[in-house]
Structure 1
Amino acid sequence: MSIRISTCQGQAITPYLDDLARLRIDVFRDFPYLYDGDFDYEADYLNRYAACPDSLFVLALDEDHVVGAATGMPLREDIEEFRSPFEQAGYDISRIFYYGESVLRSRYRGQGIGKAFMRERETHARAHGFDTVAFCAVERPADHPLRPAGYQPLDGFWESQGYRKVPELHTTFHWKDIGNDHETDKPMVFWLKSLNHQ
């Protein structure tokens, strides 16, 4: 299986938007997100990235099929839930490039694609003058009833790539969990990496 990594910015992602929406719904359905996805919401969400000329999409393609994707945009262009914790903590958000997500179908994991997603976004951020990259991840309790046996969080991978968890930087985001009939707030904690001296 030969996977091709491709990047594009802004409106260039338009031909892939439906594929990306389906991919996000499928991958985020698994623990820890347990997201009961909505295609219309996904289309709106991804259109925010398409409308931002400085956004980045990193695609993993198996032939012409999108099997993975990672996104990012300048934090100053993102929504308040993501900007506000940094602003309140005194960060200069004009210096931060924010990662939206990394999603990859399970059978393609363990092949270095996640590292490629990180590398491409860091390269893009450096080229555009950012000195910090950041993302956030949902916090689920260790005893969550839907946590699979043997589940390994990605913390170790993120740390191996130079990211550090910053618990004092946090936000909440709401979505509907699978099996629920309404949305609930989820705690999200940010991870950061400095691009200086690297």
Structure 2
Amino acid sequence: MKTPEIRPLTGEALGAALDDLARLRITVFRDFPYLYDGSLDFERAYLATYQDTPDAILVGAFDGTKLVGAATGTPLEAHAEEFAEPIARAGFAPGEVFYCAESVLLADYRGHGAGHAFFDAREAHARALGRSRSTFCAVIRAPDHPLRPPGYSPLDPFWRKRGYAPLPGILAEFRWTDVDDAEQTAKQLQFWVKDL
């Protein structure tokens, strides 16, 4: 598989890519550890904030004109309150923090540097906005979760290599329906942070 082309999108270009991002989120987040059983209607409502936030960014990974991966980010105060409140509780001013939201990439395109490119572009965007910290959340799943695939390796070493560290005890809670459930349940997500 060829290396995807990485392009940052803002404004109207970002808005035009949101339906493709919604489909990617549904596909990629269906796998462990998110196990997300998503719908386009939910995704469109959730992703509307990016279109409504002038300082939002979508970093797209493209194979020709096809969006095969994406990473998003916004100023923290523009994202869901479930994410801003724990960061404020940790002693960080939300106005200092840039929130790196999803990073999704189709499996065939992994291993070609897109993950680093996603973080590089979002961190550069955050610095240009005058933000001094970057953060993201990762879902917490039990090591013995029944849907954990054999040989699964968490991304913690990659994130640490990028300079991120978990904030002990600082968690967000978000609800979604797992692939093996009939209704939404609460999930805890661990915050990771980096000084820019």
Report how far residue 159 of structure 1 moved. 0.5
Identify the residue that residue 142 of structure 1 maps to in structure 2.
Answer: 143
For 2:168 and 2:175, how far apart are their aligned partners in 1? 19
Identify the residue that residue 77 of structure 1 maps to in structure 2.
Answer: 78
Report how far residue 107 of structure 1 moved. 0.8
User: What are the residue-to-residue correspondences of 1:46-195 with 2, within 5 Å?
Assistant: 46-195=47-196
Q: Which runs of 4+ in 1 moved over 2 A?
A: none
Q: What TM-score results when the alignment is normalised by the length of structure 1? A: 0.96
For 1:14 and 1:78, how far apart are their aligned partners in 2? 16
Contact 2:99/2:136 (<8 A) preserved: yes
Contact 2:134/2:193 (<8 A) preserved: yes
Contact 1:12/1:50 (<8 A) preserved: no
Contact 1:11/1:51 (<8 A) preserved: no
- Which sections of structure 1, spanning at least 5 residues, go unmatched? none
Letter aligned with residue 136 of structure 1:
C
Q: 1:2 to 1:155 in 2, by over 3 A?
A: closer
Identify the residue that residue 25 of structure 1 maps to in structure 2.
Answer: 26
Identity of aligned residues (%): 50
- Which sections of structure 2, spanning at least 5 residues, go unmatched? none
State the secondary structure of the residue aligned to 2:69.
Answer: strand
Give the RMSD, CA atoms, in angstroms.
0.9
Report how far residue 14 of structure 1 moved. 2.1
Contact 1:55/1:73 (<8 A) preserved: yes
For 1:174 and 1:31, how far apart are their aligned partners in 2? 16
Report how far residue 2 of structure 1 moved. 4.3
Q: What TM-score results when the alignment is normalised by the length of structure 2? A: 0.97
